[in-house]
Structure 1
């Protein structure tokens, strides 16, 4: 082993050779040579324990991140994960997994709440105040990796509890059928087809824009989403309505691979200027997102009386809790109870809806 300094760092670095012969260089985290030497000696003792006593080598946060990204490379939100991991790097770079404790998590949580600015080409920088949901997504990626390291990879014996921030309960954003028709009228042809299909199936944006013909069987009226394409990482069978089949038939011949191509390629961006202009012309709030088409599909189903357990399966949700967001829109199962009499009458002694017996007495009178 040896201590040295790099041109791009003021801290001392250590070069070690692991029991498996792998050469590892890492920072000691200090500019003081005496402390760096102490770090060096401690690592040397750990290497001896690993080699002589068969103790598992300590893994770093970077080791875990590399393995996580490798295993989750097909995850639809992998780029979002990478964004959170880049933000976390200054806090966790060089840390061993068993060094990530509640104090460090608390430090990260506090830092994530601080406002920051995004420069603009023109005008003053845009000030951003992170929302609780954004902070929680960052904390969730730490929790996911540490749990993988504990449960799947057996790199650590335990991991700290990571408390989430309370998120405000938001209203479900959805539009009426009339608003949907108005919006469709202002969209380009390729956007119309995708939007109509999304409203017929409830599929997420990427599952629509990147749907392949190999995932469709028009004769059996079914499509399917592979596990690596689904958010819950479970295959989803998608029964196709008559309207959905007609939409797909209208797409045949446009591309041999992609169902909804645009200029020969899948659509990668749906929140375009055309989309925003169409929302404005249709009189729909500017905050309505493409993903809200999925909420709209689920809301229509709930209003039409689709049981929530069926809606859960149709939408490919992993838990019933996700579907409960639409429960207030479904009241058919309560209809038989609201007419039960409680013995109260209106002022004047006349009930709003008299019983059959009371109707008979009224007719005789």
Structure 2
């Protein structure tokens, strides 16, 4: 446990096989006691060499060379404090960055790599990490287990990918040999390889963390994030229903599910916000008559109040909280059109005495998971299986574009901050204009 010892690690037999227990401190170099476990002596040796090199660098007055794991923890703490960890996919991407990857005969972890652009640093590592994930050709899930089918040279092998949240030091994947498990994996529908957008998103996350470490935290002397090259994003998929498809969907859905479909298509909110709408946030139109008998209408609206992120109860992962806040956690007022008002007045007749839920399941309670019901309804209505519930939101936007609603109004109605969100529908607008021009031409002829 001192610098006098040449190799501060011991070969130890454990229930998981041979491990190397590292135990070291050196007060002369300002190194506090560190205890780690490594799979090989080479890993322990590399860690020790980097530790000593960093200590010597600090003694010369240089900035300490931090590991990517330190930046990962700092970044996670930052976005949790700011309430930006809004979706489960955010946390999932951060966790998958902890998956060990295999290269050149040994396991590597991004979090253990130093933040530099040299061989064995984070820029080198993220490239190898991406290559490792590109070998996955199929993914399946049994209970909570994550399984990957990998193509390695001319062979294909299933592996169990341990959850990195289960251990302080994420475990490497292990090959699957159990015949029963292999049979289940072959029968499972599963999913395909990681998409280019998924890989791009994870590399982009590393890029953001490194740039933040340079620009905001002053941990680095250069912007390492600028050295990470991202693949071009794939073209956004815009899918929507035409009126005949929408009518067919409503015809096959049961009464209360059809109300939910109508709400998603006419209000345009995200699924959880539709499910979580309560009557206290529904404001019907008001009619006022002046002294001359003229009646004016004050439009109604639906509201999602700004969520107080400073409260200790705020949890970005809580699905229940997502019912009552927007993705960007800002206020949102959506105008109540005649279609929305008609729907809401129908729901008012279905209101339960002891429930404030607007679009309930028939007995006043919130909708939960309805994927099977949604899949069945699409099949019976002849809707393509790839059509997602979120595409009802695209249908709302498509209808507004085709009606000629100005871009800024569309943005305000859905709380979009980026005009590019609306510009994605530009091709639909051109089609609508073309059809309109052709119709006028035919009438004139």
Q: Normalised by the shorter chain, which TM-score bucket?
A: 0.7 to 0.9
Asked if structure 2 preserves the Cα contact closer than 8 Å seen for 1:174 and 1:296, the reply is yes
> How far apart, CA to CA, are the structure 2 residues paired with 1:302 and 1:273?
31
Q: Please say which of residues 201-210 and 228-237 is displaced more in the overlay.
A: 228-237
Asked if structure 2 preserves the Cα contact closer than 8 Å seen for 1:13 and 1:25, the reply is yes
The structural deviation recorded for 1:26 is 4.7
Please name the residue that 2:71 is paired with: 64
> How far apart, CA to CA, are the structure 2 residues paired with 1:190 and 1:226?
29
Kindly provide the CA deviation profile for residues 237-291 of structure 1, in whole angstroms up to 9, marking residues without a partner as x. Answer: 3222233244445264466565445577644434x11111111111111111001
The structural deviation recorded for 1:215 is 4.5
The secondary structure found in structure 1 opposite 2:304 is strand
Please name the residue that 1:42 is paired with: 53
> How far apart, CA to CA, are the structure 2 residues paired with 1:287 and 1:334?
27
Q: Please say which of residues 38-47 and 82-91 is displaced more in the overlay.
A: 38-47
Please name the residue that 1:195 is paired with: 261
Structure 2 length-normalised TM? 0.62
The structural deviation recorded for 1:141 is 2.4
Q: Please say which of residues 230-239 and 130-139 is displaced more in the overlay.
A: 230-239
Which runs of no fewer than 5 residues in structure 1 stay unpaired?
A: 340-350, 355-365
Matches within 5 A, 1:264-283: 266-270=366-370, 272-283=371-382
> How far apart, CA to CA, are the structure 2 residues paired with 1:58 and 1:239?
53
Candidates 208, 224, 228, aligned match of 1:159: 224
Please name the residue that 1:348 is paired with: none
Please name the residue that 2:195 is paired with: 131
Asked if structure 2 preserves the Cα contact closer than 8 Å seen for 1:14 and 1:40, the reply is no
Structure 1 length-normalised TM? 0.74
1:93 is the counterpart of 2:111: yes
Matches within 5 A, 1:315-330: 315-330=414-429
| C-alpha distance 127-321 of structure 1, shift in aligned 2 (>3 A) | closer
RMSD: 4.0
Matches within 5 A, 1:1-365: 2=2, 3-5=8-10, 7=14, 10-11=19-20, 13-15=22-24, 25-26=35-36, 31-32=41-42, 37-46=48-57, 48=59, 53=61, 57-73=64-80, 74-75=83-84, 78-89=87-98, 90=100, 91-98=109-116, 101-119=122-140, 121=184, 123-124=186-187, 126=190, 128-157=192-221, 158-161=223-226, 162-169=228-235, 172-213=238-279, 215-218=281-284, 220-224=300-304, 226=306, 229-232=325-328, 234-249=330-345, 250=347, 252-253=351-352, 256=355, 258-262=357-361, 266-270=366-370, 272-331=371-430, 353=444
Asked if structure 1 preserves the Cα contact closer than 8 Å seen for 2:22 and 2:35, the reply is yes
Kindly provide the CA deviation profile for residues 104-154 of structure 1, in whole angstroms up to 9, marking residues without a partner as x. Answer: 332223223223333573744657222212222222322333333334444
| C-alpha distance 235-156 of structure 1, shift in aligned 2 (>3 A) | farther
| C-alpha distance 171-286 of structure 1, shift in aligned 2 (>3 A) | same
* Greater helix share, structure number: 1
Kindly provide the CA deviation profile for residues 194-239 of structure 1, in whole angstroms up to 9, marking residues without a partner as x. Answer: 2222212211222222345554444652312636743445443322
| C-alpha distance 40-172 of structure 1, shift in aligned 2 (>3 A) | closer
> How far apart, CA to CA, are the structure 2 residues paired with 1:20 and 1:185?
73
> How far apart, CA to CA, are the structure 1 residues paired with 2:280 and 2:116?
45
Asked if structure 1 preserves the Cα contact closer than 8 Å seen for 2:304 and 2:326, the reply is no
The structural deviation recorded for 1:35 is 5.2
The structural deviation recorded for 1:21 is 10
